[in-house]
Structure 1
């Protein structure tokens, strides 16, 4: 009990912007698959995710122009409120493993939108949830639904939109493409290339052909600027992430196949 009170007192899972710190880090809890510690492109701080699926939701939110901040592992405080909600709903409140201490519930991603509003995304693999037409719900899935119901009610009381998302509700291909290209955004040693980016985008369009492999288009555009292959691919990734190069992100992107441009 005392250690949890200390976490709360230190401000974990509270606040906003660069000063925000998630309620727990990946080292604190078992991950569901691969965990991720990532540098935030918009927040300027480190984000902690317990699965690839959580990370994919982060990447998609980060790419959206309407999202200005992302808070991961956000604590649902006051601590007693979620316990009261569970009591009102007739749900057994979860406790920390091997203790009788009530947990501090968290939301996976709390998004701050450009208009100042907030939105909350709770991420679960579909395997942890029952099918819509499923009659006999396994105990584990039923328990997951109970905890989600507490979280949903917490945000409902605050008038904040809350959504439950799975891998079936997002484009995994888009998320993987953005994750693949995101390396270019965090390679700070390549920031010196930015003065070339608008010229690179123009040259990419000039060299692009529907059947021409991405490798060839990027190399040709880079050579025209006297850039190395690595530098040219960095500019390609940044141009996509900055919404200056409208490629089709819902088709897998790799070096050796053509990339589709989306004309708007």
Structure 2
């Protein structure tokens, strides 16, 4: 489900180790389920639980949040792990957020690495000082350069910076922005390597818009 959502949506933000607050909510859920709430092993005090990833996406039917917990499949047989999952599941259910468990069977490490490398890249606030029209110019130049499959991404980006008069690194940052916002659709199961050419499967799927305020 997570991979399908990533393919069908434009990722706006990914937040790691998202806290399940206020802690009183998870304490109440644990009490309702008659199971122990996670505690600090040293102090014995209840601790704030977290969800590994909160993914904020936009799609044709609007925006939504996806909460996903990563866990090795071998741990799913642990009764204590299942208890904590149940607290987490009910917490997100009360928030109206889609929650699920993802194991190594569902999500390849190459995809995890790509998502980590693209974290924050969908936000224009994290780009060098370039306006939307300049992003469009860079996109056109990069796409033209990368059509030559012998040219690696980093070289195409450096050449683009030189031709358009931007500081080195600007075009590479824009390339990551285009991937993160799905203006450029690529195979995220393949590691993104700047020393290799970038195979753009579909161009122009997303949109070049300023990120919403958070």
Q: TM-score range by the shorter chain?
A: 0.5 to 0.7
Separation (CA, whole Å) in 2 of partners of 1:187 and 1:66 = 15
Separation (CA, whole Å) in 1 of partners of 2:191 and 2:165 = 28
Contact 1:213-1:257 at 8 Å conserved across structures: yes
Q: Which sits farther off after the overlay, 65-74 or 189-198? A: 65-74
TM-score by length of 2: 0.66
After superposition, what is the alpha-carbon deviation per residue over 1:110-135, rounded to whole angstroms, capped at 9, x for unaligned? 556654655432232445334xxxxx
Work out the number of aligned pairs and report it.
192
- Note if 1:250 corresponds to 2:197: no
- Note if 1:170 corresponds to 2:107: yes
Structure whose CA Rg is larger = 1
Separation (CA, whole Å) in 2 of partners of 1:234 and 1:116 = 25
**Which of 136, 148, 151 lines up with 1:198 in the alignment?**
136
- Note if 1:122 corresponds to 2:69: yes
Q: Show structure 1 runs of 5+ residues with no match.
A: 1-56, 131-140
Q: Secondary structure at the match of 1:78?
A: helix
Match in the other structure for 1:65: 10
Cα pair distance change 1:174/1:249, threshold 3 Å: same
Cα pair distance change 1:85/1:231, threshold 3 Å: same
Structure 1 segments, 4+ long, off by >6 Å, are: none
Separation (CA, whole Å) in 2 of partners of 1:179 and 1:110 = 13
- Aligned-residue Cα RMSD (Å) equals 3.8
Greater strand fraction, Structure 1 or Structure 2: 2
Q: Show structure 2 runs of 5+ residues with no match.
A: 204-214
Of structures 1 and 2, the one with the larger relative CO (CA 8 A, separation 6+) is: 2
Separation (CA, whole Å) in 2 of partners of 1:113 and 1:235 = 20
